[in-house]
Structure 1
Amino acid sequence: MGMVLLGLATSCSEVMDEPGLNPNGDEITLRFEAPEALQITRAVPGTNSGQGGLVNVDWSQYDLRYQVAVYSEDGSTLLVEPQTQTVDNYGPVIFNFRLTPNNTYKFVAWADFVRQGETADLHYNTADFTRIAIQDSVDAQLNDESRDAYFLAKNVAVSQTFGETMTLKRPFAKLRVVTTDWALSGAKMPDNFKVSYHDCTRFVELNAVTGEASGGADADASVVYTATLPQDASGDKFYEGGYDATANNRTLFVDYLIANDVQQAIHFSVDWLQGTESILTKDFTTNIPIQRNYLTTILGNLLTVGGSMTIDIEEGFVNEWIDGEEWWSASGITPVEPAYEETRNGGQAVRTYHIYTREEFAWLPDHITEMVTETYTDADGKEKIISTVIYIENDIDMSGVDWKPIYTTGENTYTVDGQGHVLRNFSMNGQFGAVYEYKLGPFVLFTYHAYTGVWGKFEGVMKNLTFENITINGLANSEVDVDTDGNPVDHSKEYAYFAGCIGYTGANYSTVVNIENVQARHVRIKASDGLQTQNVGGLIGWIGVGGGNTWLKNCSVDDVTITGYQAGGLVGQVVGGRGVAFTNCSAENVIMRMRGFARSGISGFIGQFNDGAGSKIEHCTYPTNVQYIDDATGLVDESYEPASPYYGYCGYGKTTPTIVE
């Protein structure tokens, strides 16, 4: 690892008291590194469009180049020309400067990718740190992970010899477009794209000294950016992890956009092509939020006419937004009552519903309570509850719908058998959640919008079902969003309390909770800043005290990002005390984001047991790839450690659950 010193003689301070390079001054040691969250993900094999260049570039073709310059405290004068180091794999670098003491200097660092073995500019002209400019042509800006870069400008008071570590951050917002209907309908699939930005500001330069994006101008819709479908050497998906791990999800293109620290809205149109033939065009005219160091994900059925989308932001990126299809391509839906049949089982009346379409599934939220409370008179003249069974007969795609959770009052149970099918592309913003009252005795202290999920509340048997692409409050805190009619949308009051694919289950020890062979993948849950994010899980948010018939078996989650406490990749909170069993369950690829001081009861598997007495975790697999992130900074919180890899916390003085590995 060599160090190149450029033009240092011209920057020497002739008067030893003046700030600048000084052979007799104090030696300053500075250590520079890219965001720590990326260091963690770098160890996880495979590419992922939700991460950046450190994970996704081919290191046999690129080096990472660091440049560090020294300016006067106010940034007006360059005192030391940029020093350069290149590394051929990710790793922090150390720079040493000998400067006149008792002065404050502004250190400005820039790190980007260059060709293997070279130091010349590749994607950005860095001759002037006050005007670092994009130099790629319009046919070379999309789908190139080596365009990722990092920078930092920081004032350091030099009064004595010392060392300091500085973490760089991206000057970009990363935009990725992920379709959820790849090869799903038998239609032609695109292999290249034309993208035009319009009705928004495009920045082409960064002033690394001030940290401001510059060169802003109204996007010219006549400027067309082109890209081919990202593929590996064998022609398969280039990206392997995250959303792309599922067959029908595929990242179509990514773009790194120079941005500022404040939110801005972008708009763009896409022409999907196979060869030279246009397959489909889509114009995203609603406001799509971007922000520096945020990942914005557009997720939905993008290759289907009338398809829908969700938008999301994350990874080493400070935070994330998910903009659901209901915001940019809302789909009206008219619920339809599903067909059913009534039979008798040993005298017990059973009503069996068969769900074939999304319209039939959308009928459930407004009718589930009457379904599970309807009665009949048996042969002895006694009134009894009709048993309810729901069979999912097809995969159900709820793209474009602001989903209203299925929620039952009371504790009546019923059975849902997915028969191996998938419930996919469900997006919720909390407006339909039931109100939860937090009480102290008879007094109501707080009220929350709660019970958010595909099922807000469920009691009974659920089996043979997969949840896929589930988003709760994906646009929380977005300040630029509008609906499809152009009206502003308030995302400042979106709660996540009892939230998951199933928000709440196991109301008391007498209820039945049997969850078997139920999987969840690609789940994103958060809430607006300052609002309750509690009892949140990738599969289930909250489970009650348990009992002899409360258990999960052969269930799993994969690719889950959750913000909150009493939160876990699989289950958020288990009240426990009477026994809840977990058998052959697993979690993997989990990110837990923690807010403020609420940092207890959090793990990649189960967040919290109030009381583990009688509960058993048997032959389960906790996640090996789990990150605990400070939600305010997007950086790993090294101080947090769960009580066990299987759970974050068990109530003080309470029995811990039995673990059988």
Structure 2
Amino acid sequence: MNKKLFLGMFAAAGMLLATSCSNDELDVVQSGNEAQVTFSLAADGGIATRAISDGTGAKKLVYAVYNADGELIKTTANADVNGQIVDNSAFDNGLTENVTITLAKGQQYTVAFWAQNPNCTAYTTTDLKNVTVDYTGLNNDETRDAFFKAETFTVTGNADIDVVLKRPFAQINVGVTEDDWNAAVASGIEIEKSKVTIEKAATSINLLTGEVDGEETVEYGFDIIPAKFTTPETLDVDLDNDGTKENYVYLSMSYILANDATTGYAKTTLDGLDFTFAPISGNNINFSEGLNAVPVQRNWRTNILGQLLTGDVTFNISIDPIYDGEYNNGVAYGVKANNTYYKTIEDAINAGATEIELAAGLWEMPSVRDKILKISGANKDAKIDLSDGVALHNTSVDFTNVTIVKESEDYVGFYHTNVLKYTDCVFENEYWAYGIEETFTNCVFNQTSNARYNVWTYGAKTATFTNCMFNSAGKSALVYGETLSEWHTANFKNCVFNATEPVDGKAAIEIDSHKTPYNVNIENCTASGFDAGSVSGNILYNLKDGELGTNCNITIKGINTYAEGLVKDANGNYIASSNEGITNAISAGATTINLTQGNYVIPSSAQRKTLTFIGTGTPEDVEVAVTKVGTGYENCDYGLDGSTVTFEGITITTNSSTYIGYARCKGTYKNCVINGTYTLYGDSKFERCTFNVSGDVYNIWTWGAPNATFDGCTFNSDGKAMLLYGQENTNLTIENSVFNDNGGLDVKKAAIEIGNDYGSSYVLIVNNTVVNGFAINDEGYNTNTTLWANKNSMGTDKLSVTVDGVKVY
């Protein structure tokens, strides 16, 4: 994923202002399950020279992170009480700066951004899903200019994302000709101030969806007209479409939220516009006649132009071409190229255009030959209709930020194409690739039918998907062609495959190489909701028809999904993220299972196995709860019954109830944290572990362990640490360890309490161990030490104690 965050803004010559955002480095320590996502704010053109709509006032940046369900994540580093990050000195000096957020891998997020003038109090942004607008104020107020964007993405690793922020507003302008202005001045009327009344403006916007709500009549009061600013502004519009902008005297400028009831991006009309112009001396001039069905649209500029001050009132209404498009005499010209607007893509190409920008709407791609084109959308509501298929003979096209729509017909696509590149595009229904080479970067594929795929690689000699998301009903990508002997290639890197339902035997990537031989490369891809492949047995990929090494080569790199809750890296390591993932790893024959950050309960599928569980390197990241799994004695957990298990870098928690522990489990514990009383039921070895309890309970009860060894361990308790007691004859060795008494209990207990009711024999060996606190237990045989106590007065025939090489009992 490699995008930048741009601030889209007006400029007199159609350029965008260089902007920047403060570097908001978060003080977060990354584990292997997190990644840093950097949003880069940078220029998308030259620096504008005008004060109005140049965006230079947008110094305040507000942003927040939402999960896949649209819920605000309030724990983002540096977030305020509203769960937002607010920077009042962003976009400084026109330099590119970064916003970096540390997020969990494999998860989908949306980050909503809002930029405005910090001196503007018209917007309440404490909830970015409901930014409200206060229209109280004066006309011609440039501080109301603002920008927004919501960026949705899935974290597959560290990523740079470029994002263009655009205005949520429509801008309404009034300008008169120089002749009209001069005639008015000659007659003693020189306009100084203007005000406006605008009916049915929206009052709030959801930055995640772009949808608006509410309705209000706006009354902006009298203020100085733009033509009278300290630096006078002109309203420049190419009304006659001759390629040269005409200069109009700027009388009024206003921002509103266009009240489109659908997506917030569509055109709507105003029927209640009323302008009043106040001269330095003389009577006010009112202008409302004929202002019916005036078009307004988000990020479009509606210009009302003509002879308004003298003689007969004549005016024209157009949309400034600096924005996404314009309306001329009711006709939409939404295809922009070379500073000119066209009705269709075909008109623009016939006029010699090679770089084309599409406004929101449904556009038809014409059949062309021998072209090299770049086609971008002002937003993803710019849609290209591929329903009937289009021949692009020997033509290469770079598509950016558009949506490709078609029904799920077979064999329909862009035929006879050379190279097709898609960046930040959306594909609705089933796409068929026909280009010699097709690349897809940061694209989203949507399919709701479980009988259809998101994409067929079909006619593409090379199809490459990078940082793409596939949303399907159980079938995502079909790697298949019919060229017989010529080898084709399909590449999938950092892609996410989501299925709303499984389809029997279908993995996310289905491969059929029996006609066209394929090289398939898969790297760092995740899948969820799919069935296991009919041949492969995993949910990510499946060679359903073909023969490895003969007509198909599959190369796996990085970390990829193997089954639900389970991924497998290029070195064959299994990495589980759920209890189901542990079960799937065991079913796959794994003996070493890495666990990602999260909470786990070892499932009964782990019984009678030899297993190693490895955490992230920080024990607090991975918590395994010992609970009563299975049926049997007291509070035993039978999830590891009969198993030999190693835990590395993991926190093990219990509820400190009597007999709580893994039944008949032989365990090795390395760099672990054990919270709560832990009862042993087999040979156990602890290396560099920390034990924590509070209350009237022990850290460790040796109950069923023939041998128990603790090396380099720390025992934290309220006065009861180790109980050497049980039905087994036990050899207990403690070396290089520390016992800490936090003083929470009023009991006389040594660090190691020894007792026996079952005739068992014990051997205790202690070396180089420190005791802080605890007491001499004078019940039974008095050892006169806080290290160990013989509370049942066991004889030397049943108990042997050696401390630092000296046999003391």
TM-score (norm 1): 0.43
> Quick one: higher RCO (CA 8 Å, sep 6+), 1 or 2?
1
TM-score (norm 2): 0.36
